[in-house]
Amino acid sequence: MRFRIEVVRPERCIGCYSCVYACSRHLFNTVDPSRTAVFLRTEGSLANPFMPVTCRFCKTPECAEACPKDALQPLPEGGIMLITSRCEGCETFDCITACAIRALALDKKTKFPVICDKCGDCAKYCPHNVFKYEEMK
Amino acid sequence: MNSILYVDLTERSSKVIERPDLFSKYLGGPGVASKLIIEETKPGTDPFSPESPIIFAAGYLVGIFPCMVKTVAMFKSPLTKNLGESYSGGHLASALRFAGYDVLVVHGASENPVMIKIVDDDVKVERADSLWGLSPLDVEKTLREHYEGIQSVISCGRAGERLIYYGNVIVDRFHHFGRLGLGAIFGSKKLKAISINGTGEIPLEDPLAVKEMYKKLYDEVVNSENMLKYHNLGTSANVLELNERGALPSRNFKESRFRGAERISGEAMAESSLERKISCPGCPVACIHLAELKTGFAPEHEKGRKEIFSEKVLVPYNYEPMYALGSNLLINEPSHLLRLIYRCECLGLDAMMVGTVLAWVTEAFEEGIINLDDTLGIEPRWSDVGAYLQIIDNMVDLKNPFYTKLAQGLDVASEKYGGEEFAMIVGRNGLAGYATGYGTIAGQLVGARHSHLSNSGYSIDQMALNQPIGPEQIAKFLINQEDWLYVLYSLGTCYFARKIYTKEVVCEVLKIMGIDQTPEGLMQLGKEIFHNLYKFKIQEGFELTDQKIPGRVYSMQTPHKKLDAEKMQSIIKFYIHKRESEGLQLRPEEKALKELLSFEG
Ligand code: SF4
Ligand code: SF4
Ligand code: SF4
């Protein structure tokens, strides 16, 4: 079964970071606001609305195209998979800058890009149903 | 972790010191800060001298469990002249911990305006001349720039720069280190702002246990009626609730019901002005209510169409400013209330204390103890928002000797002009908005920071409506509450989550962190923290037995009718007796126990 996660109601976001913390607990067994595949941003001041961001599961992902080592493999249902053996040794991280919405972060510890594994924890821990988590047909 | 970052503004230098000794025993927050404030402050230090430190301590569990969000600031208060202790939510505690620190200590002072900029282990003291004079709101806009991790921006406003004794520090636009004058300490150090960006991790020893516990607590928080109410109307629901009970202070506590309560109630605000609700990182509740205030473009610009074209700003509101700048001043127009709150936000002033001061000014003017010469021609009148805004501005500008006295608090102003009877302060801090009975007044009097949140005295007043509660029980309640709250605050727990984090839950949570504690052990720890803080107060000249309660307290109406001075005295005496039996010396040697404890035995 293939799942996907989508930010559907960003205007409801209260800025609680529950999704971000849940993601870093899930992916890395830690709490780290930069080791996560879901991001919470505002444009300048916190008086501006929050913008939660996750992978958009693009059909023709820019990140994958930008990777000089073909380490990001586009998936048929959209989005990408990381082939770690190819990623190793990268110093440019073209994938991260290629994503227009910046849904990729560099994991400073492993030096791999952090990729969403579609576990749905962000949706589970969002108190305001900002996300939609569903099986892909 | 266990790290303290020291920044010296005089030397423009910084260093990190590990203090496992402190953290293993006192966890974090006020526990650790209560030790540091004594270590770092020479007895009798002038609050405004460069030697006067500021200590920011994040709670021990911030980031790890839900609703663990608080940072305490400890300093020497210019307002009370003893312990300055103030709590804030917002991004600060998380940013500090993700940057790799549990505590930030600021020493020294600069000649020119500066700011502290921290990005993980990169710590800089930078010039901030161009920020000086800006509102904290504009500072936040200017300095919020980081895309990664969590960033916190805190700053003082003009009130702090000009050393107004109740100038506050605004945290991440909508939160505050309020009440006891931290803003003025910033001002005295020429410290305009601190920006902290944390992008690192809070390591977990036992991630699986944390996850499991997190889930349990998260579910409890989002499904609990107890916490939901803070999201729904928030504390602003108190306006109508207290009004109904006859416990909503109005006309400077002369009255306990306000005819305009419905118009400025939480319900009415939600209807007319509520725009958004936001949260602290790590808390799914979102109790911070933001109202939209339409300010209007300049009339010459819009040619009379201001109902269509207006600028708007977001103003945070909750019960306390609604009482202080609303019911207590007979303000009955939501937009007037919001304008007063917004002015305090822009100037970096404690809204509660401003309300206390304005109410006193209005009554003092009515009584004829101050006149138009003092106020520079402004007639302070109940519900006159225009006059109140001008008074606030004149005070921050220290326009004349009268306004300068106001800026130093009501003990100073009423000493010069009279009107102590209706200067609604205890321990030099303005009373909170609860004309509920004995518990609230006694609680604020004995509390280490003279706040209604020190020991929730107002809640025992509520219980006392259904069953008789004697002075001794009230004293005991205040002690137990305050001791326990110091445990919760040391963990970083939000006050609103206190019913989730019971003693048993806290023991469970600490166990996951590798700390074995019992409920009794925790209470002992809370007590020790309280004792440490009181020792600091006493060292700085505080004497509980010398504190005055304004006469108005005994003529105001409460749900318990008029309060009786003897009963109040007896609560305080029991309190002193009990605290002294714990080994905390509260009276100077020469004051006989008998004299104080005539009710004993
Ligand atoms: S689905 Fe899982 S991995 Fe993907 S962003 Fe959400 S929490 Fe992170
Ligand atoms: S959990 Fe939901 S409400 Fe909270 S920050 Fe994430 S998207 Fe926003
Ligand atoms: S209840 Fe409110 S103040 Fe407390 S942690 Fe949550 S959002 Fe912050």
Are B426 and B549 in contact by the 8 Å Cβ rule? The answer is yes
Distance from CA of B145 to the nearest CA of A (A): 6
For B449-509, give the DSSP string. Answer: T--TTTT-HHHHHHHTTTS---HHHHHHHHHHHHHHHHHHHHHTB-GGGTTTS-HHHHHHH
Strands B103-107 and B191-198: unpaired
Class assignment of domain B429-598?
mainly alpha
Contacts of B307 (CB under 8 A, 6+ apart): none
Q: How far apart are alpha carbons A67 and A59 in whole angstroms?
A: 16
Distance from CA of A76 to the nearest CA of B (A): 30
Mean confidence (pLDDT) of chain B: 94
Any idea which architecture B3-198 has in CATH?
A: 4-Layer Sandwich (3.60)
> Does domain A1-54+118-137 sit in CATH 3.20.20.210?
no
Residues in chain B closer than 8 A to A17 (CB atoms): 94, 150, 281-282
Distance from CA of B200 to the nearest CA of A (A): 6
Give, to the nearest 10 degrees, the angle between helix B503-512 and helix B207-223: 150
- Looking at residue B597, its pLDDT comes to 43
- Looking at residue A91, its pLDDT comes to 78
| Beta pairing partners, B83 | B76
* B30 vs B545 pLDDT, higher one: B30
For B251-289, give the DSSP string. Answer: TTTTBS--TTTTTTSHHHHHHHTEEEEE--TT-S---EE
Closest Cβ opposite residue A46 in set B145, B147, B172: B172
Q: How far apart are alpha carbons B275 and B593 in whole angstroms?
A: 55
Are B2 and B18 in contact by the 8 Å Cβ rule? The answer is yes
Are B397 and B459 in contact by the 8 Å Cβ rule? The answer is no
Q: How far apart are alpha carbons B235 and B250 in whole angstroms?
A: 18
A82 lines ligand 1 (CB under 6 A): no
Q: In chain B, what are the domain boundaries?
A: 3-198, 229-416, 429-598
Query: For the segment B264-295, what is each residue's pLDDT rounded down to a tens digit?
Result: 999 999 999 999 999 999 999 999 999 999 87
Are B543 and B585 in contact by the 8 Å Cβ rule? The answer is no
Q: Binning pLDDT at 50, 70 and 90, where does residue B307 land?
A: low
The CATH number given to A58-115 is 3.30.70.20
Chain A residues within 8 angstroms (CB to CB) of chain B: 14-18, 21, 24-25, 29-35, 41-42, 44-47, 49-50, 102, 105, 108, 125, 127
Q: How far apart are alpha carbons B128 and A129 in whole angstroms?
A: 41
The residues of chain A that CATH labels 3.30.70.20 are 1-54+118-137, 58-115
ipTM of this complex: 0.95
Q: Binning pLDDT at 50, 70 and 90, where does residue B601 land?
A: very low
Query: For the segment B359-410, what is each residue's pLDDT rounded down to a tens digit?
Result: 999 999 999 999 999 999 999 999 999 999 999 999 999 999 999 999 999 9
Q: How far apart are alpha carbons A21 and A15 in whole angstroms?
A: 12
Burial class (CB in 10 A: 0-12, 13-18, 19+), B29: buried
For the question of whether the overall pTM of this predicted structure is more than 0.80, the answer is yes
Query: For the segment B524-570, what is each residue's pLDDT rounded down to a tens digit?
Result: 999 999 999 999 999 999 999 889 999 999 999 999 999 999 999 99
Class assignment of domain B229-416?
mainly alpha
Chain B residues within 8 angstroms (CB to CB) of chain A: 63-64, 66, 91, 94, 98, 137, 140-141, 144-145, 147-150, 172-174, 198-204, 207-208, 210-211, 214, 218, 222, 276-286, 313-314
